[in-house]
Amino acid sequence: MLRVGALLVLGAAAAPLTGCGLLDREDPPRPDPLAPLIEESLRLAAGLRTTAEAHPDLAARLVPLAETHEAHADELARLTGTALSSAAPSGSAAPPSPEPPAERAAALSALRKAERAGRDSATAACAAAPAERAALLGSIAAARATHLEALK
């Protein structure tokens, strides 16, 4: 009887603690590790579009690449539950892009450099991703590698 009484007293003493959050604390949600790839996809698309505007003779080659990055951003946002603004083409909010170089060769070189960095980050994300995300990330890395060839 003493044991039962002691357990009741301990239980009654612990009950208020659960109400104040000491025992039922939750950690804040962590950002999805794919979130940086969304921003990177939008940044790559914006760079391509800005360069296409500055060099109209390259538009036929650059706009499809930008659309690919925007589609990747849309799919990554869907996968991660991230909302994208509807202000930009395909429903993606593209960050501002710096002015591309005036010289055509320099502009293409800057785009290749950005695509190379993007390919590397997508490859690293693919290698670290769980299996259910690896296929999408592998496709993104492959597309970025293909973009490098299209920008030669």
Q: Is residue 111 part of a domain?
A: yes
Q: Is the pLDDT of residue 104 over 70?
A: yes
Q: Is residue 72 part of a domain?
A: yes
- CA dist 38 and 76 (Å) reads 6
Q: Is residue 27 part of a domain?
A: no
What's the DSSP call for residue 151?
T
Query: How many CB atoms within 10 Å of residue 100?
Result: 21
Q: Is residue 127 part of a domain?
A: yes
What's the DSSP call for residue 95?
P
Q: Is residue 125 part of a domain?
A: yes
- In b/e form, how buried is each residue of 28-38, taking b as 16+ CB within 10 angstroms? eeeebebeebb
Enclosing domain of residue 77: 35-150
- CA dist 126 and 139 (Å) reads 9
**Is pTM, for the whole model, over 0.85?**
no
Most confident of the ranges 13-22, 86-95, 119-128: 119-128
Q: Is residue 80 part of a domain?
A: yes
Q: Is residue 142 part of a domain?
A: yes
Instruction: State the pLDDT at residue 18.
Output: 52
Domain at 96, CATH number: 1.20.1260
Please give the full DSSP string across 2-43, using - where no structure is assigned: HHHHHHHHHHHHHHHHHHTTSSS--PPPPPPTTHHHHHHHHH
Q: pLDDT digits over 47-76, tens only?
A: 999 999 999 999 999 999 999 999 999 999
Instruction: State the pLDDT at residue 84.
Output: 81
Burial of 54 (0-12, 13-18, 19+ CB in 10 A): middle
Q: How many structural domains does the chain have?
A: 1
- Binned at pLDDT 50, 70 and 90, residue 120 comes out as very high
Q: Is residue 99 part of a domain?
A: yes
